[in-house]
């Protein structure tokens, strides 16, 4: 999509972090923006920022893990802003822990937001875009969708699935000879609020009070440090997303240095070797 001005972008997870940055980046291009999040208070604040940028905005409290809420948001966003052209399935959470330590609630919450949220977005919005034969879908994965750092089983699993879904969606649209574009965003560490995503965890998926293991505490501290010290900002990533939409580019790899770890994993697969730790290959 070369011309963005006057068209409509949708961003889930739009109340903070990368979602907020994407919404504002599209607004600076003259696009009207619909945002969804579970954080109602910050939703309204960001909607105000969008309107101050001179565009129309629609904000709705949505739990992307719930199909009916995403379906309703898709219809309401289109009705409120007169259409939908760019869809960013961006909402995500990042609890850590060794694969056998995570509770059933941990798995349900992470898969619900990170994977089902993208599935629901693709299912709800793609038919709209196909019908008008114009649009672009951006699914937020991570470099953890291309490599597998230790201590992040749930996050890695969901992000690999988002990459697989995005690649398959690209192929399915190509077979239909559709003009829709698809991108999958795979950033590394970025200064966003994802390290504190526990604040938005639904009560019905909360863990009972318990002491976290030393390993969990250490990994959480490492994640916060890595995220806060990321070389690129959320605004940098958002600008890369806008560029990819304009260029109809599928893979959005914002951190070139991580390609060493991606390459090492691919070579290990082709050579049938055991995987190496990607944190040491990066």
Q: Show which residues are catalytic.
A: 155
Strand runs labelled E in the chain: 8-12, 32-37, 57-61, 86-89, 136-140, 181-185, 190-191, 232-233, 251-252
Going by C-alpha positions, the residue among 113, 78, 88 that lies closest to residue 183 is 88
Q: Would you say 150 and 106 are in contact if contact means Cβ atoms under 8 Å apart?
A: no
Residue 163 has φ and ψ, to the nearest 5°, of: -65, -45
Q: Which stretch of DSSP H or E encloses residue 215? A: helix 214-228
Residue 155 token pair: 């996050």
> For residues 20 and 249, what is the distance between their CA atoms, to the nearest angstrom?
22
Provide CB contacts within 8 A for 194, sequence distance 6+.
17, 18, 92, 93, 94, 227
> For residues 274 and 269, what is the distance between their CA atoms, to the nearest angstrom?
8
């Amino acid at each position: 999509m070369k011309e963005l001005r006057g068209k409509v972008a949708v961003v889930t997870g739009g109340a903070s972090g990368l979602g907020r940055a994407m919404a504002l980046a599209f607004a600076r291009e003259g696009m009207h923006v619909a945002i969804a999040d579970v954080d109602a208070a910050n939703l309204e604040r960001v909607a105000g920022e969008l309107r101050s940028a001179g565009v129309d905005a629609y904000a709705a409290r949505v739990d992307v893990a719930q199909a009916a809420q995403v379906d309703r948001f898709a219809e309401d966003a289109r009705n409120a802003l007169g259409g939908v052209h760019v869809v960013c399935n961006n909402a995500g959470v990042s609890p850590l822990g060794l694969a056998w330590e995570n509770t059933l609630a941990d798995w349900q919450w992470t898969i619900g937001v990170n994977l089902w949220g993208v599935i629901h977005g693709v299912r709800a919005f793609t038919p709209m875009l196909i019908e008008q034969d114009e649009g672009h879908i951006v699914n937020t994965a991570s470099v953890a969708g291309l490599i597998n750092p230790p201590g992040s089983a749930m996050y890695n699993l969901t992000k690999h699935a988002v990459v697989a879904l995005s690649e398959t969606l690209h192929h399915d649209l190509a077979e239909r000879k559709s003009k829709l574009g698809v991108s999958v965003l795979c950033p590394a560490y970025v200064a966003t609020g994802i390290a504190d995503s526990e604040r938005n965890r639904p009560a019905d998926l909360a863990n009972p009070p318990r002491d976290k293991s030393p390993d969990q505490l250490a990994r959480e501290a490492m994640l916060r440090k890595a995220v806060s010290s990321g070389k690129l900002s959320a605004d940098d990533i958002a600008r890369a997303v806008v560029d990819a939409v304009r260029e109809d580019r599928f893979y959005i790899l914002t951190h070139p240095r991580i390609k060493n770890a991606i390459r090492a994993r691919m070579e290990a697969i082709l050579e049938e070797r055991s995987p190496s730790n990607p944190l040491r290959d990066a």
